[in-house]
Amino acid sequence: MVRLLVTGGCGFIGSNFIRWLLADDPNVTVVNFDKLTYAGNPENLASVFESDRYEFRQGDISDRDSVDEVLKEFSIDSIVNFAAESHVDRSILDSTPFVHTNIGGTQVLVDSARTNGIDRFVQVSTDEVYGSLGDTGEFSEDTPLAPNSPYAASKTAADLLVRAAVHTHGFPGMITRCSNNYGPYQFPEKLIPLFISNALQHQPLPVYGDGTNVRDWIHVDDHCRGIAAVLRSGEPGDIFNFGGRSELSNIGLTRRLLELLDRPETLIRFVPDRPGHDKRYAIDCSRAEKMLGWKPLVSFEEGLKSTVDWYLQNSEWVDRVRSGAYREYYEKQYGDRLAGE
């Protein structure tokens, strides 16, 4: 029986991974270690609360004593690290929490994992560590790291700490880097859930710049399968990219969402661009396809429709997470931009 610690498991990708893994693998027990910051929602895991293979502990990956305690209490042998401050716009407003959690927290996890004899460690990262592309080309695992936002810089530093531990100490660390995720239970600061919830309330959809920035989109289930494949089959020092082979401009995505929701394009509001906004991301995931036998299974058309349907069917969940701290952030991030249109 694998005894797995999942950090940040109450967030969007982490909670989807836990639900997916418990359903897929009867030989794993999961301990979810989450600080429960604004985007951490235990409700995301209501379906597994009663499982005898699931435990939850609230804690901060930057707190060495708490990390040591949970590793020892449950005799953990593997770790998947999702815990991170993860929104570019927030990192531009204040990068301090990103440095604290994404860099300092990762180092604490690595040090504790080494001390406690962890067998496997997966660092979940992002394609944003590679920087920005022009009109052509794709990021491979060998693309030089060139982060352009405070968020991306913090994730790059975390990746390099894991890499250094592998090469210096023989640490059993592996790194995954993924393109933009979408799917159920995503906190509504991110583009797809934000635009769905705004459109349903006939509120403006704030599109940065001219909307021509391009992203590659991957359904969260496909990402979860990739992480699980690395956890099971990866070797220390391995790096794997995961993408959906679904490039789309932000304005193109916005129009698709409005079409699915039967809302007019008059809701689109072009607002001043994000500082340092990366132009294009595209992922070459051929290494994962060849070495892990992985490939994306959910088409973007199918995945986007099912995601919209999920938000339509779970409006109460959306209403609950759009309260409090989220409202304060939304006003700070978009209030002046929308007022100045």
Q: Which of 34, 60, 85, 128 is catalytic?
A: 128
The answer to whether 151 is a known catalytic residue is: yes
Active-site pick, 151, 182, 185, 281: 151
Strand order in the sheet with 78-81: 54-58, 28-34, 2-7, 78-81, 120-126, 173-178, 239-242
| Domains (range + CATH), the chain | 2-182+218-242 (3.40.50.720)
Q: Of 127, 189, 238, 278, which one is the catalytic site residue?
A: 127
State the Cα angle at 84 between 332 and 51, rounded to 5°.
115
Q: Is 128 a catalytic residue?
A: yes
Residues making up the chain, counted from first to last? 341
Q: Could you read off the pLDDT of 150-179 as tens digits, one per residue?
A: 999 999 999 999 999 999 999 999 999 999
- Helices in the chain by DSSP H: which ranges? 12-24, 64-73, 88-93, 96-98, 106-115, 150-169, 191-200, 220-233, 250-261, 286-292, 300-313, 315-321, 325-339
d(CA 68, CA 87): 28
Q: State the pTM of this model.
A: 0.93
Mean pLDDT of the residues in the chain:
94
Proportion of the chain above pLDDT 90, given as a percent = 86
Q: Could you read off the pLDDT of 172-218 as tens digits, one per residue?
A: 999 999 999 999 999 888 899 999 999 999 999 999 999 999 999 99
The rounded radius of gyration (Å) of the Cα atoms in the chain is: 19
